Amino acid sequence: MRMVLTGCASGIGRHLTGALAREGHRLIATDIDEVALAGAAEREGWSAASVRCRKLDVRSESDWEAVMDAAEELLGGLDVLFNIAGFLNGAYVTDFTAGDLDLHLDVNAKGTMLGTRAAARRMVAAGSGHIVNIGSLASLAPVPGLSLYSASKFAVRGFTLAAATELGPRGVAVTLIMPDAVETPMLDKQVSQVEAALTFSGSKALTVEDITRLILDRVLPERPLEATIPAGRGFLARAANSAPALSGILAPLLAKKGRKRQEEIKNGSRR
């Protein structure tokens, strides 16, 4: 299949690009950081025959149009879009900056919305396609200390569900993946942030391999509306979403567990 991915210089995007290329798909891998993207391509050994690299600032409408044009020119069209690029910086409500606010909403929410729109226009014209948006368990349950991230991912979920309802009858599936914490540079940054304690309240972090396996085994063949991982934490997040007052009871307990785990990681334990 012909695919476009965002956030490919590191983390989920980088690993998924390599896995999809090995499966025989033809890709355009994008990132805002062209140097880091080129470095990832070299280190991972992406074949230029199967992976084309392009700069993309997901906040830019013109960048999205350029990448969609490149998909038409280089791939002959687009079958799947993966909106992976994201931003997170822990901060309490009293402490976040206007810059933090802009980046969370512009990268996580606006970037996903612009990408979905750009791909949907072409997919609707072709009569088929699949858009995969990366949310978070923070799309389901509010996360104290990560209020901006949670707000942006709630927005991604609301938008994705609405888009799926609109686009499904026109031949375009839309899927939202909502993972728990994943071992990526974004997670590394949170280890020293006390505000992000709840991120570490699970038994262990997911790996990029876990997310890739979910995508290859379930998301691409079945095209579900939503997929949470792991199942147990997903159930807990949905419970907190259905009874918001429950968060006031659970959050202090989970934060205590998370802070302990942060200290263990800083002292050399595995996630």
Q: How confident is the model at residue 193 (pLDDT cuts 50, 70, 90)?
A: confident
**Mean of pLDDT values over 109-122:** 98
Asked, for residue 90, whether it belongs to a domain, the answer is yes
Asked, for residue 269, whether it belongs to a domain, the answer is no
- Coil, strand or helix at 111: helix
**Mean of pLDDT values over 189-215:** 86
- Run of H or E residues at 27: strand 26-31
Which one, of 192, 183, 162, 186, lies nearest residue 174 by Cα? 162
- Name the DSSP class of 91: B
**Is residue 92 among the annotated active site residues?**
no
Q: How confident is the model at residue 115 (pLDDT cuts 50, 70, 90)?
A: very high
- Asked whether the predicted pLDDT for residue 246 surpasses 70, the reply is no
Domain range for 219 is 2-186+202-233
Cα-based angle 176, 179, 184 (whole degrees, multiple of 5): 120
**Mean of pLDDT values over 55-83:** 98
Interatomic CA distance for residues 54 and 243, integer angstroms? 43
Q: Is 110:60 a contact under the CB 8 Å cutoff?
A: no
Asked, for residue 251, whether it belongs to a domain, the answer is no
Interatomic CA distance for residues 24 and 20, integer angstroms? 7
3-state helix, strand, coil in the chain (%, to 5): 60, 15, 25
Q: What is the pLDDT of residue 259?
A: 79
- Asked whether the predicted pLDDT for residue 271 surpasses 60, the reply is no
pLDDT digits (tens, 9 = 90+) for 11-48: 999 999 999 999 999 999 999 999 999 999 999 999 99
Asked, for residue 258, whether it belongs to a domain, the answer is no
Q: Is 29:41 a contact under the CB 8 Å cutoff?
A: yes
pTM, full prediction: 0.91
Tokens of residue 244, six digits: 């918001």
- Asked whether the predicted pLDDT for residue 70 surpasses 70, the reply is yes
Asked, for residue 242, whether it belongs to a domain, the answer is no
Cα-based angle 69, 74, 80 (whole degrees, multiple of 5): 75
149, 154, 159, 200: which one is catalytic? 149
Asked, for residue 191, whether it belongs to a domain, the answer is no
Residues above pLDDT 90, as percent of the chain: 75
Cα-based angle 94, 146, 243 (whole degrees, multiple of 5): 105
Q: What is the pLDDT of residue 238?
A: 84
Place of tokens 């050399």: 268
pLDDT digits (tens, 9 = 90+) for 224-245: 999 999 988 888 788 777 777 7
Asked, for residue 56, whether it belongs to a domain, the answer is yes
Number of structural domains (the chain) is 1
Burial class for 197, CB neighbours closer than 10 Å (0-12, 13-18, 19+) = buried
Place of tokens 């927005």: 155
81: CATH: 3.40.50.720
Asked, for residue 45, whether it belongs to a domain, the answer is yes
Residues above pLDDT 70, as percent of the chain: 98
Q: Is 50:3 a contact under the CB 8 Å cutoff?
A: no
